[in-house]
Amino acid sequence: MNLREKFSNNVRKFRTKQRLSQEELAEKAGLHRTYIGSVERGERNITIAVMEKISIALKRPITDFFKE
């Protein structure tokens, strides 16, 4: 599993554990709902700035998103 897949899977895992919809996460992160969906599907090469927005919105350190 590559880094993008690990990150994508963990975004979905952490979001669902918090019972957030993609739309709710997008709002908290200041991103569009469809963008969150494409991140979770591993379709995007995102920037560090976007990683930071998602990690802050999910209240998790960025390093957690790269663990299996």
Q: Which domain holds residue 16?
A: 3-58
Q: What is the predicted pLDDT for the residue at 58?
A: 98
Whether 1 shows a pLDDT value over 90: the answer reads no
Give exposure, 2-33, as e/b (b: 16+ Cβ within 10 Å): eeeeebbebbbebbeeeebebeebbebbebee
Q: What is the CATH number of the domain that holds 42?
A: 1.10.260.40
In a domain, 27, yes or no: yes
pLDDT tens per residue across span 11-51: 999 999 999 999 999 999 999 999 999 999 999 999 999 99
Q: Compute the radius of gyration of the chain from its Cα atoms.
A: 10
Question: What is residue 68's predicted lDDT score, i.e. its pLDDT?
Answer: 84
Is residue 39 included in any domain, yes or no? yes
Q: Is residue 36 part of a domain?
A: yes
How many domains are contained in the chain? Answer: 1
Any domain includes 63: no
55 pLDDT tier (thresholds 50, 70, 90)? very high
Residue 67 counted as domain residue: no
User: Could you tell me the pTM of the whole model?
Assistant: 0.92
Q: Is residue 31 part of a domain?
A: yes
Q: Is residue 11 part of a domain?
A: yes
